Structure 1
Amino acid sequence: MKACATAVFFLLGYVSHFSLACPPLCKCYPRRAEVVCNNIPLTAFPSEGLPRNTSTLTIQFTNITSITEQDLQATPHLKELHLFSNRLRNLSSHLLRAVPHLVTLDLTGNKLTHLPADVFSHAPLTSLVLKNNLMEVVDARWLPDNCNLTWLDLSGNRLTKIPADFLQKMPHLENLDLSNNLLEKISANSLDQLTKLDRLNLRNNKLDALDASLLGSTRNLTYLFLSRNQLSHLPENIFQELTQLQHLSLDDNKLSSIPTGLLDHLTSLDDEGLDLTANPWICDGKMEYLFRWLQKYQKKLFLPETITCSGPQSLKTRAVMTLTESDLNIQS
């Protein structure tokens, strides 16, 4: 009983200390060892008063413009740091050296343009979100070799390329989001080390071609988003290793036809898992392969009735599903 009472007394003292230590303009939740700072007047990292045992820290919608390694020394046990929708412009080199247990870092919606070398080293990060910033380049020197990242979100920036040496530092990556950038090309060997990749989002970029070997090592992909690019053709064998793929979006590109055999290896597609809408399909003899595939696997298509012909003039706006062999001048 005495030992139990002592433990309860210690716990109450800890909770009380956590509550009393809460910084101004922040709220502290002792049971979860969590602190939330959600105030526009906040202009500097609230290092003074943060409970040292804080494991989750959220700072959002403030006017903070920079964070340093020294700031984070106040929370050595931190596991999650959420810094979205602030005005961050600068992060210091070796930023995470003071938080050796950090696994999640979210920097969504800031003003970051350039980051220093080793900014994400020294912590076992598994999730890194840099969504909706102003970055035009990424640098392999940000990360340690063979880093632990499984989730990387770089969507909504101004990237025109993604260096292969940057991606090759992340062999454990499962989710890679590069959507809503300005990517013009993905080099052939960029994804070679990403053998555990499950989800790849390249939506809304400026890609006009994909190398035939780009996806050769990503056999575990289940979701691939390529919509809203400028793809006018696809290599015949680009999807041949993707036998686990459940969803493929190719909508809003410039595809007028696809090569024979392109879809043959996609045996795991979900119902409505293939999106081919909003492409300028030319309904002539080159359409034969897609025409026959659509007839056989109609359930795999998303909104099949909206896959329509852009030419020739006699078939313009006709749904491909309603065509006949005669329309396409092919023999049965």
Structure 2
Amino acid sequence: MQWFKMNLKLLLLLITLCAVPQCDVHACPHQCSCSGDKVECAGVSTMMTFPVYGLPRNTSELSILSTQISSIEASHLNAVPYLTRLQLYRNKLDKLPSNLLHNASRLNSLDLTGNQLGHLPPGVFSQKSLQNLVLKNNHIDQADVEWFADNNSLIWLDVSGNRLSEVPAAFLQKLKHLEHLDLSDNNLQELQPDALKNLHHLEILNLAGNKFTTLTPTAFNHNPKLSRLFLQENHLRELPPSLFSGLPRLQMLLLNQNRLQHIPQGLLDGRNSSFILTLATNPWLCDEKIEYLWRWINEHHHNVFYLEEVTCNGPEDLKDRQVVSLTKSELGVLK
């Protein structure tokens, strides 16, 4: 009888322990690896469905990479109530349910890079705890303001490598806590007026690899914390003289691989010694209008990366000359 009572107490103790998240800490789905509260299922070509069974209940980080999974449901995340980071990288996902994150109350980071997502339903990212969202390299052609709740906490948004031809001003204005915004490698031709108006905390903005030909003079007027601005690989032909005047913290500006022939007087004034600038692979026209750029890069040559690739595209007698090497007489400068 004493033996029975001792074993009964032990059984009750085990049942009690199983009420806490650590109960199934040693469980792990087939074909996945588990370490502490982290689970990774990578390169499993035979994995067709979300691995609900066997997930440790205390999982905080879950990575499912390069599988054949084509769908995910909100109920799948019920198995991991302590999840803070979910990476679903390079799978076959082509849709998401609107209630996907409704029970993921602790989720901070969601990475959906390299799937086949197109249309996303309203409310799909409305979870208040979500701060980092990556939708890179999908098939998204429309940014919908209804994806997010009005009281969202998003600070990092990456929608690069999609098919966006425009981003509504209302979409960006709703994301007032954003610090990092990546819209690179889409089909954008312009920023709507005041699109960045509410992004007072924005520090990094990537617009590279689009089809911008110019930007409005007030495009960045409301982003005083902006420190890195990527504008390379666009179709920029001209820049307003005051475009960067409201950016006292700008430390990196990439303008390479555009269609610039000149830059206006004063565009680069006020930059400190740690400022980084790229200008290569533009068709610079080395006539009297290039004097401002010529003077600036001679005075700040340490700030210009790939300086030797900043060359003249014309006139013919100066073609392929490095701009920094030109003389006053070649430019027709009298003083």
Question: TM-score normalized by structure 2?
Answer: 0.91
Match of 1:202 in 2: 207
The structural deviation recorded for 1:14 is 6.8
TM-score (norm 1): 0.92
Report the alpha carbon displacement of residue 16 of structure 1 after superposing the two structures with TM. 6.5
Contact 1:106 1:129 in 2 (8 A): yes
User: Counterpart of 1:18?
Assistant: 25
SS in 1 for 2:59: coil
Equivalent residue letter for 1:294? I
Distance 1:61 1:233 in 2: 42
**Which one is further off, 246-255 or 114-123?**
114-123
CA contact (8 A) 1:246 1:269 kept: no
Contact 1:197/1:218 (CA < 8 Å) preserved in 2? yes
CA distance in 1 between counterparts of 2:320 and 2:146 reads 51
CA RMSD of aligned residues (A): 1.8
Q: Percent of aligned pairs with the same residue?
A: 44
Higher Cα Rg, which structure = 2
Provide the secondary structure at the position in 2 that maps to 1:36.
Answer: strand
Letter in 2 for 1:60: L
Task: State yes or no: 1:283 paired with 2:286.
Answer: yes
| 2:34 match: secondary structure | strand
Match of 1:138 among 134, 143, 155: 143
Distance between the aligned counterparts of 1:83 and 1:171, measured in 2?
Answer: 26
Choose the corresponding residue for 1:34, options 35, 38, 47.
Answer: 38
Which position in structure 2 is the counterpart of 1:300? 303
The 5 Å alignment of 1:119-268 reads 119-265=124-270, 267-268=271-272
CA distance in structure 2 between the partners assigned to 1:305 and 1:319 by the alignment: 6
* Aligned-partner Cα distance in 2 for 1:237–1:82: 41
Deviation for aligned residue 1:48:
2.4
Q: Which runs of 5+ in 2 are unaligned?
A: 1-12
Shift >3 Å, 4+ stretches: 13-16
Are the counterparts in 2 of residues 309 and 315 from structure 1 also a CA contact under 8 Å? yes
> Distance between the aligned counterparts of 2:308 and 2:31, measured in 1?
55
Q: Deviations over 1:125-149 (max 9, x none)?
A: 1110001111111101001113111
SS in 1 for 2:68: coil
Distance 1:14 1:264 in 2: 57
8 Å CA contact 2:52–2:76 kept in 1: the answer is yes
Paired residue secondary structure (1:59): strand
Question: What is the identity, as a one-letter code, of the residue corresponding to 2:285?
Answer: I
Q: Which moved more, 1:126-135 or 1:52-61?
A: 52-61
Distance, in Å, in 2 between the alignment partners of 1:120 and 1:224 is 26
